[in-house]
Chain A
């Protein structure tokens, strides 16, 4: 690309609109530079280093990627530079250093506060779940993302939000016609790709996804335990990338445990739900060198969201969030208050369900500070739409319910329910959710205490 292109340069896209390049956002991969666009906070422009890459972008642009949180090429730029325009919210930053400790360098140990100030467990789970959701829907369309790494994941700059987008769609590839050239980003590599034994695949994506999730939550690579620490830096990196070391949480092989009393070892206990532990073992113990044993991105998505929905805020408002069953805040020790739990059941009527219910589709805590939204994923495990289906809005002494259009929230007698009181301990309320063309659901609202 011409060397005189920089912030302030003018480029024009194929549709005849001129753009002034803004600040550089990042240099994901080696192929180009991403700029903001002056006066267009919702867009970014990536200029390519090699003009020949444009053909590939043209092809990616034709892929059916609607509805994904993926910065797909919108229009092509040939005038004033070579590249493409993509949608990107103005206040997003790459998920690199601010959220993940530096690659294999000295661990940032500002510790507890830092974890909290970057959004805490709740936000980390939400971002990881968003990445998983995006990958899962890409995989559903027969495409692999190939180059997942922290520079390609853009998240809201505002720690109270968890919007997540994947950028850099240059390397999207289909199983029918895979491209071999990307081997992976250091620290996020997949063994069979580093060793060039297999082409990029959705299962390779799933492995990287597991690394990203683990690193976000536990702040380490899942293979970076005592055994890795015993090796030299380069040697350790190599061993980790090629999958030669055991998983830090391997049930049998305890050669590579996390160093005791490190922050990561505490987070390993606190930040991972039972289901996530299971998925991690499947990925890094059994599936490390055998891709077919790895869980897919869809299972990661479900597990991460479920974990996210069962996180509560510290009652003393120290800022930490943690799983609702933990008895007291891990940071300040304040006792966990009873939480209001909404549990989604497949149908209506039965009352003999136990407190923890194997039949339950999903369960989530209802916040008493802000509205809690139940979406398609809670009610039917679907991800087509992110619109809230039922909203529980805390009001004085209870919750106000509102439902999306076409959805009926009723009590047992068929009367519309618009408000439920705050449930006292050992009391429960049930509402019935009906929508045409979808299975009927029951939501039970109870107040439960941590054990």
Chain B
């Protein structure tokens, strides 16, 4: 703050006459001694004597200086030797009191202050930026330590005081034994305010949790959270193995050099390849399809130095280090067209370089992981600070002062639908009030997507009035499908969340956004369709587009003819002359240069022409036949005029061989010349001046019409319609900047596209299916959270996906048990258990289990809770206790909620299929049961679940035999589209068959679970089920149904001592089926 901005009670300016020269500098603070003899201006040892001011001023000045409550600033000094009389100008500020502090006082800024300032400024700055801003607002920009305090706001040494800054006031109060800035508000405007001058130093200190971290602390954390942390170390090694495999794959794809590129209208890039065998090979490989390729100065897998800077995950902007990745296709011209995964401008990538198998994505993937880990260990934000403390096995910082927001609002109630459960309310409460991390465990059917939507809506309400980008939420999940589900689920009724980044070939990636845009488009269409000005402008734009296109890239002969015909139709209503000319020109070009049209016709014309006999002797031999062959070929007739046709026709029956052979020589030349011209015209593509002139004339005519009949409003509406209809990118961009939520996969949370859409951190990061993400990937969105991270998942359901080929490699280097344990444990689970223990210790709750399920029959719900959650101290209640609401109405199963259909070992043993197993006996039983159940109901849905892919195939095969399944074009099994009873009234399939992995998140009315394992007694191994039947997977398999779960399999095996030990839940389920809600067969 400058002196001029300092608050004061009263001020006056003086002009004094100095009695000597001085070295006092303008702008410095001085002290004044006022006597009758004059005014002494002092600063340090320097004194300047001046003549006294006029009467009234002298009294005022004497009074003020005597009390000491003033500040005097030297505004100007004129050297008295320069003129007749010099001048000194002074500005004196009066205060209502003065106070001196012997030593500087520290006031703290905590997370609450930071939030308050950010709210006031409508920004989302980190604590250091907030501190800098507060200093600039509250402290004087001068070597003399001075602050101004509002006198009315209590005692200076008491519980609190108010510092008056240039534009704001800060209320400072004691918090425990420390002074804290509690509130920052707009400076009041009233003049009645009394101000006290404080001569003393106020030191504004960082007391945020992040600010308390010292550099040594950070270093220690970094060490703990990376190198020495077994959990992350093994994951990092896993990640390196993935990179190595990727590098080898990229090398095998091949490469080509390019020496030029163009960016095409749709944003794709066309590369001219330097012709070489490599290039031909690459073009070959791309073939008629598309292929993921990368372009940069040189193959990225060759040169480790050129990798993107890992510290920031950014790439340098200069063209030579630029690269682009995308889907490439080959053109007929032998160029490659790459549809980049991000927008590329000229100069983003090198002018000459290489195209090759995608590797940078893999190195970027690893780079993003590294960068995220680094960001987390730097602990610049509260959530990352806490995360790294927790990962390092240390206690997280206490949350500090909090403003508590109520979890529920009308909108939230509406989104939750019905009366929310206490756990749901608490989850929302924890989430929106969190200052670091919250984990929400959502067991099956507990309404976790609704909770997510409610959290998003509530955060939006609380951030109301703030810029969207300051209070933005990032939704992330482990894969694209999950992200899309999340977007749908989190729809809070405002602008849709925008998904950033896309899967490789995903056309339906933006389905949600597209639906929104097409809805808008239809409304516009309905409103403006058929209005004349709009139609004219439409036409004009089309004409201009075509004319530009024609000039830039002229058309071949058929294209030119099409263009002229279109022009003729378009111009009809505006300029009849142009329309007629276009039509005639089209006809002429087609006739003269079409040459029979196809290349094959050209060849045939040429062959027939060459066979014509042109010497009397040879004509006499077979000249007539050959003339007739030519005369009968339509393309030849079309190339000749009447006279020439007659010549040819006559030759077929000619008797005068001399005349005829001479004629044939002429005809041959004419035909060959015409074919050659047609070929020339089709091989060279250049502007035809007459076509260009016609286009221009049509544009002129429409422009004149437009001038005569449209207004500015018409123009604006037309532009808007055009944007909505033809510039999806622009609409998307505008949604991106206004939507309160962006969504991406974990990896693409740190993509360039994401940075373009949102620079910097997100207020809140919400991660769904967090237990299924690779921990290193999960760190990426987590590292982007400014205020809070909300992880939603269930570690009792499916864990993260692993590349099983890499596990053995890791086990070679480490204890395989440790590897197994580490890689099978999700980050979610690790955090969940840690935070749960911490909560027991310090009472600060950061984890919550949604404990009421609404999906399943109460008996089944109780079973799931007992089997999969109770052992861990978690508990799952039934939200709906009335079994009557889960009636399935299938007579053969009575009123049961569970059942076991025994397929004893004697019915047939399991069989090995590749690396998996199958049991045809069970498959037969399931399909029979399924068919009967399908035919008895219209709307019930069915899931058939097993743990083994071999059995999935087996069941599909039986379905196929029963006429219920076919293979689609990709060779995958689908339910037979021709059997109507396999589909609901709305056309969705009623039956799904698969392994557990595809089923998390899905629900069905009735589920058949094929246990698959069965072999003759004595042949049984000690662990007959294998790792596919881990409790997590069994949990998912047994919790998909609403009404009825039927296990089909060898009951004797699962109830044997071996079976009980291997998969206790199956044995327990068998027992349950013997109860009142069950049946056995």
Q: Which residues of A contact B (CB under 8 A)?
A: 13-19, 39-40, 42-43, 58, 61-62, 64, 73-75, 85, 87, 156, 158, 160-161, 163, 370-373, 388, 391, 393, 395-396, 400, 402
Report A119 CB to chain B, min CB distance, Å. Answer: 13
Q: Is the CB of A40 within 8 A of B686?
A: yes
Measured between beta carbons, the chain A residues less than 8 angstroms from B677 are 14-15, 75
Measured between beta carbons, the chain B residues less than 8 angstroms from A396 are 248, 251-252
User: Nearest chain-A residue to B681 (Cβ)?
Assistant: A15
Q: Is the CB of A85 within 8 A of B686?
A: no
Counting chain A CB atoms within 10 Å of each CB, which of B280, B592, B686 scores highest?
Answer: B686
Q: Whole-angstrom distance between the alpha carbons of A74 and B673 in the complex? A: 10
**Do A15 and B593 contact each other (CB < 8 Å), given the known contacts A74-B679, A395-B251?**
yes
Measured between beta carbons, the chain B residues less than 8 angstroms from A371 are 254, 277-278, 280-281
Contact of B970 with A by CB under 8 A: no
Contacts A/B (CB < 8 Å), 12 sampled: A13-B680, A14-B677, A40-B686, A42-B684, A61-B676, A74-B679, A75-B680, A75-B681, A87-B683, A370-B277, A396-B248, A396-B251
Q: Whole-angstrom distance between the alpha carbons of A85 and B673 in the complex? A: 14
Report A251 CB to chain B, min CB distance, Å. Answer: 38
Q: Is the CB of A75 within 8 A of B676?
A: yes
A-B residue pairs, 7 tightest by C-beta: A75-B680, A74-B680, A62-B672, A371-B281, A395-B252, A15-B681, A17-B686
Binds A, one of B10-18, B687-695, B1036-1044: B687-695
Q: Whole-angstrom distance between the alpha carbons of A17 and B687 in the complex? A: 7
Q: Is the CB of A370 within 8 A of B278?
A: yes
Q: Whole-angstrom distance between the alpha carbons of A400 and B274 in the complex? A: 23
Q: Whole-angstrom distance between the alpha carbons of A388 and B280 in the complex? A: 9
Q: Whole-angstrom distance between the alpha carbons of A288 and B478 in the complex? A: 79
Q: Whole-angstrom distance between the alpha carbons of A85 and B685 in the complex? A: 13
Q: Whole-angstrom distance between the alpha carbons of A73 and B676 in the complex? A: 9
User: Nearest chain-B residue to A58 (Cβ)?
Assistant: B673
Q: Is the CB of A372 within 8 A of B684?
A: no
**Do A163 and B248 contact each other (CB < 8 Å), given the known contacts A40-B686, A61-B676, A62-B672?**
no
Q: Whole-angstrom distance between the alpha carbons of A193 and B504 in the complex? A: 66
Q: Whole-angstrom distance between the alpha carbons of A402 and B283 in the complex? A: 13
Q: Whole-angstrom distance between the alpha carbons of A99 and B679 in the complex? A: 34
As a 0/1 sequence over residues 266 to 282 of chain B, the CB contacts with chain A under 8 angstroms (1 = contact) are 00000000111110110
User: Nearest chain-B residue to A395 (Cβ)?
Assistant: B252
Q: Is the CB of A62 within 8 A of B688?
A: no
Q: Is the CB of A17 within 8 A of B252?
A: no
Interface residue ranges of B663-716 to A (CB < 8 Å): 668-669, 672-673, 676-677, 679-681, 683-684, 686-690
Q: Is the CB of A158 within 8 A of B274?
A: yes
Contact of B119 with A by CB under 8 A: no
Measured between beta carbons, the chain B residues less than 8 angstroms from A43 are 684
**Do A18 and B254 contact each other (CB < 8 Å), given the known contacts A62-B676, A161-B276, A396-B248?**
no
**Do A393 and B672 contact each other (CB < 8 Å), given the known contacts A17-B681, A40-B684, A161-B275?**
no
Q: Whole-angstrom distance between the alpha carbons of A388 and B680 in the complex? A: 28
Counting chain A CB atoms within 10 Å of each CB, which of B280, B684, B689 scores highest?
Answer: B684
Contact of B721 with A by CB under 8 A: no
Measured between beta carbons, the chain A residues less than 8 angstroms from B689 are 18
Report B1029 CB to chain A, min CB distance, Å. Answer: 37
Q: Is the CB of B680 within 8 A of A15?
A: yes
Counting chain A CB atoms within 10 Å of each CB, which of B274, B280, B672, B676 scores highest?
Answer: B676
Q: Is the CB of A85 within 8 A of B680?
A: yes
Measured between beta carbons, the chain B residues less than 8 angstroms from A18 are 686-687, 689
Contact residue among B276, B281, B680 (Cβ-Cβ distance under 8 Å from A160): B276
Q: Is the CB of A402 within 8 A of B676?
A: no
Contact residue among A17, A39, A163, A372 (Cβ-Cβ distance under 8 Å from B275): A163
Contact of B888 with A by CB under 8 A: no
Q: Whole-angstrom distance between the alpha carbons of A62 and B689 in the complex? A: 28
Measured between beta carbons, the chain A residues less than 8 angstroms from B684 are 17, 40, 42-43, 74-75, 85
Contact residue among A16, A370, A391 (Cβ-Cβ distance under 8 Å from B284): A391
Measured between beta carbons, the chain B residues less than 8 angstroms from A16 are 589, 688, 690
Report B679 CB to chain A, min CB distance, Å. Answer: 7
Measured between beta carbons, the chain B residues less than 8 angstroms from A163 are 275
Measured between beta carbons, the chain A residues less than 8 angstroms from B683 are 74, 87
Q: Whole-angstrom distance between the alpha carbons of A85 and B672 in the complex? A: 16
Q: Whole-angstrom distance between the alpha carbons of A402 and B281 in the complex? A: 10
Contact residue among A39, A161, A393, A400 (Cβ-Cβ distance under 8 Å from B686): A39
User: Nearest chain-A residue to B278 (Cβ)?
Assistant: A370
Q: Whole-angstrom distance between the alpha carbons of A43 and B683 in the complex? A: 10
Report B405 CB to chain A, min CB distance, Å. Answer: 58
Contact of B581 with A by CB under 8 A: no
User: Nearest chain-B residue to A161 (Cβ)?
Assistant: B275
Contact of B91 with A by CB under 8 A: no
Q: Is the CB of B669 within 8 A of A402?
A: no
Measured between beta carbons, the chain A residues less than 8 angstroms from B589 are 16
**Do A19 and B277 contact each other (CB < 8 Å), given the known contacts A62-B673, A64-B610?**
no
Q: Whole-angstrom distance between the alpha carbons of A74 and B683 in the complex? A: 9
As a 0/1 sequence over residues 144 to 164 of chain B, the CB contacts with chain A under 8 angstroms (1 = contact) are 000000000000000000000
Q: Whole-angstrom distance between the alpha carbons of A85 and B680 in the complex? A: 9
Q: Is the CB of A370 within 8 A of B251?
A: no
Contact residue among B281, B606, B687 (Cβ-Cβ distance under 8 Å from A391): B281
Q: Whole-angstrom distance between the alpha carbons of A400 and B686 in the complex? A: 42
As a 0/1 sequence over residues 244 to 262 of chain B, the CB contacts with chain A under 8 angstroms (1 = contact) are 0000100110100000000
Q: Whole-angstrom distance between the alpha carbons of A42 and B684 in the complex? A: 9
Q: Is the CB of A400 within 8 A of B252?
A: yes
User: Nearest chain-A residue to B690 (Cβ)?
Assistant: A16
Q: Whole-angstrom distance between the alpha carbons of A421 and B1060 in the complex? A: 50
Report B752 CB to chain A, min CB distance, Å. Answer: 31
Q: Is the CB of A393 within 8 A of B281?
A: yes
Q: Whole-angstrom distance between the alpha carbons of A156 and B677 in the complex? A: 28
Report A172 CB to chain B, min CB distance, Å. Answer: 15
User: Nearest chain-A residue to B609 (Cβ)?
Assistant: A62
Measured between beta carbons, the chain B residues less than 8 angstroms from A40 are 684, 686
User: Nearest chain-A residue to B679 (Cβ)?
Assistant: A74
Q: Whole-angstrom distance between the alpha carbons of A412 and B935 in the complex? A: 54
Report A61 CB to chain B, min CB distance, Å. Answer: 5
Q: Told that A373-B280, A396-B252 touch, could you supply 9 new A-B pairs with CB distance under 8 A?
A: A17-B687, A39-B686, A43-B684, A61-B676, A85-B680, A160-B274, A161-B274, A388-B280, A402-B284
